[in-house]
Protein backbone atom coordinates (compact mmCIF):
# COMPACT_ATOMS: atom_id res chain seq x y z
CA UNK A 1 0.00 0.00 0.00
CA UNK A 2 1.41 3.38 -1.02
CA UNK A 3 0.62 6.34 1.23
CA UNK A 4 -0.86 9.41 -0.43
CA UNK A 5 1.64 12.08 -1.38
CA UNK A 6 0.92 15.76 -1.25
CA UNK A 7 3.01 18.81 -1.98
CA UNK A 8 4.18 20.22 1.33
CA UNK A 9 3.73 23.81 0.13
CA UNK A 10 0.01 23.13 -0.44
CA UNK A 11 -0.44 22.07 3.18
CA UNK A 12 -0.42 25.63 4.54
CA UNK A 13 -3.11 26.85 2.18
CA UNK A 14 -5.28 23.79 2.78
CA UNK A 15 -4.96 24.05 6.57
CA UNK A 16 -5.78 27.76 6.42
CA UNK A 17 -8.96 27.09 4.44
CA UNK A 18 -9.99 24.21 6.69
CA UNK A 19 -9.53 26.30 9.83
CA UNK A 20 -11.83 29.01 8.44
CA UNK A 21 -14.58 26.43 7.89
CA UNK A 22 -14.09 24.61 11.18
CA UNK A 23 -16.66 25.04 13.95
CA UNK A 24 -14.45 23.63 16.72
CA UNK A 25 -12.21 26.41 18.03
CA UNK A 26 -9.46 24.06 19.26
CA UNK A 27 -9.24 22.24 15.91
CA UNK A 28 -9.19 25.57 14.09
CA UNK A 29 -6.23 26.68 16.20
CA UNK A 30 -4.35 23.44 15.49
CA UNK A 31 -4.95 23.91 11.76
CA UNK A 32 -3.69 27.49 11.97
CA UNK A 33 -0.50 26.27 13.68
CA UNK A 34 -0.12 23.62 10.99
CA UNK A 35 -0.46 26.27 8.28
CA UNK A 36 2.09 28.59 9.89
CA UNK A 37 4.50 25.75 10.59
CA UNK A 38 4.41 24.43 7.05
CA UNK A 39 5.01 27.93 5.67
CA UNK A 40 8.02 28.33 7.98
CA UNK A 41 9.45 24.96 6.93
CA UNK A 42 8.97 25.72 3.22
CA UNK A 43 10.65 29.12 3.63
CA UNK A 44 13.60 27.46 5.36
CA UNK A 45 13.90 24.79 2.68
CA UNK A 46 13.80 27.40 -0.06
CA UNK A 47 16.41 29.55 1.70
CA UNK A 48 18.68 26.53 2.16
CA UNK A 49 18.41 25.69 -1.53
CA UNK A 50 19.17 29.28 -2.56
CA UNK A 51 22.21 29.44 -0.25
CA UNK A 52 23.41 26.07 -1.52
CA UNK A 53 23.09 27.27 -5.12
CA UNK A 54 24.84 30.58 -4.42
CA UNK A 55 27.65 29.47 -2.13
CA UNK A 56 28.10 25.82 -2.96
CA UNK A 57 31.61 24.67 -3.76
CA UNK A 58 32.38 24.33 -7.46
CA UNK A 59 34.21 21.05 -6.76
CA UNK A 60 30.89 19.45 -5.70
CA UNK A 61 28.95 20.53 -8.79
CA UNK A 62 29.94 17.49 -10.87
CA UNK A 63 29.80 19.14 -14.27
CA UNK A 64 27.09 21.73 -13.73
CA UNK A 65 27.79 25.00 -15.45
CA UNK A 66 27.54 28.26 -13.56
- Give the contacts of 31 (CB within 8 A, at least 6 positions apart): 15, 16, 18, 19, 22
**Residue 36 pLDDT:** 84
Alpha-carbon distance of 12 to 62, in angstroms, equals: 35
Most confident of 7-11, 15-19, 32-36, 57-61: 32-36
Segments making up each domain of the chain, as ranges: 9-54
pLDDT, tens only, 19-55: 888 888 898 888 888 888 888 888 888 889 889 988 8
* 0.85 surpassed by pTM: no
In angstroms and rounded to an integer, the radius of gyration of the C-alpha atoms of the chain is: 18
Comparing CA positions, the residue from 49, 38, 44 lying closest to residue 14 is 38
Amino acid sequence: MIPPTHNFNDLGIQAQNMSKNCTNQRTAMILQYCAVGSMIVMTGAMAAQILKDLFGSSSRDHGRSR
